[in-house]
Amino acid sequence: MEVGDGIIYRMQKASTHPGPRAYDVYPAGQGENYSYFVDKFWTVESVLRDGRIVASTRTRKRRYLWPEDPNLRKAGWVARWRYRGRFPELLAAA
């Protein structure tokens, strides 16, 4: 992956009320909570020497990911077009 590439990270969450973008929703043992996945749309900010990817979120947080992470995938051109408003734009270097 290169700087500026859009990536989609499949994040596992748990709560009492899954949101509208949740998928693979499963109830917990007692049925009070749900376990589910939500797709996060990030942009590659840089690649570190050890191979980790620094991803930028829409709120300008940084996430450090290994490229071998099974929950990480590069966004294809269809996903980039379909979810174009969800991928953050990189800020220009000063």
- Comparing 33 with 92, the larger pLDDT belongs to 33
d(CA 66, CA 34): 27
42 - beta bridge partners?
7
Per-residue pLDDT of 45-54, as tens digits, reads 999 999 999 9
Nearest in space to 4 (alpha carbons), one of 93, 68, 94, 66: 93
> Looking at this protein, which amino acid is placed at residue 21?
R
**What's the confidence (pLDDT) of residue 24?**
93
Model-level pTM greater than 0.75? yes
**What's the confidence (pLDDT) of residue 94?**
42
Q: Which residues contact 83 (CB under 8 A, 6 or more apart)?
A: 41, 75
58 pLDDT higher than 50: yes
